[in-house]
Amino acid sequence: MKFVSDPVERTRFAKFVIVGILGAVIDFSVMNILSHFAHLELVAAGTISFVCAIISNFTWNRYWVYPDSRSRQPSSQLAMFFTVNIAGVLIRIPVLHFVEPLIVKILGNTSLLGDRPVDTIAKNLTLALAVGIVMLWNFFVNRYWTYNDVDKAVA
């Protein structure tokens, strides 16, 4: 697989992961604030938090991960990036909806958590799984569609 052996692409992926970690911090923070303080359901809170992370991720990807991607206007590239992320939401929502109850059920049968609230831990584990799945989707689709104009020799 050429991607694995290409140091330029590995560097881009590493930068993408760093941007993704920042996006995940934003995502988790907003989700926890909205679900805990505003009492929104996980799907609603997780969708809003995802949009906040998209805005951050686009900005960092455009100017740091792919600074040489300039053949498209920022608005056009944002539309492409957002489209990829909408598909990510379509992947993410079923994970949030169906996996959380399974994790609650699994965690509810264990005493390993002590006095920690099972629902909070379940929400965060579910979101972590969704973030991981969508991160892989986002990297490969954005790399080969949104940022397909970058020089393969520059990182």
Whole-structure pTM over 0.75, yes or no?
Answer: no
Please, which pLDDT band fits residue 123 given cuts at 50, 70 and 90?
Answer: confident
**Boundaries of every domain in the chain:** 2-146
Residue indicated by tokens 């973030």: 131
Of 47-56, 72-81, 109-118, 139-148, the least confident: 109-118
Of 10-14, 40-44, 90-94, 114-118, the least confident: 114-118
Please, which pLDDT band fits residue 37 given cuts at 50, 70 and 90?
Answer: very high
Would you put residue 150 in left (φ > 0), alpha (ψ -120 to 50) or beta? Answer: beta
**90 vs 83, 85, 86, 97, 133, CA distance in Å?**
11, 9, 6, 11, 12
φ and ψ of 154, to 5 deg: -120, 135
| Average pLDDT of span 56-70 | 91
Please, which pLDDT band fits residue 146 given cuts at 50, 70 and 90?
Answer: very high
152 vs 109 pLDDT, higher one: 109
Helices 7-36, 42-60: axis angle to 10 degrees equals 140
| Average pLDDT of span 36-43 | 92
Q: Distance between terminal CA atoms of the chain? A: 19
Q: Check whether 153 has a pLDDT greater than 60.
A: no
Distance of alpha carbon 87 from alpha carbon 109, whole angstroms: 34
Percent of the chain with pLDDT over 70: 89
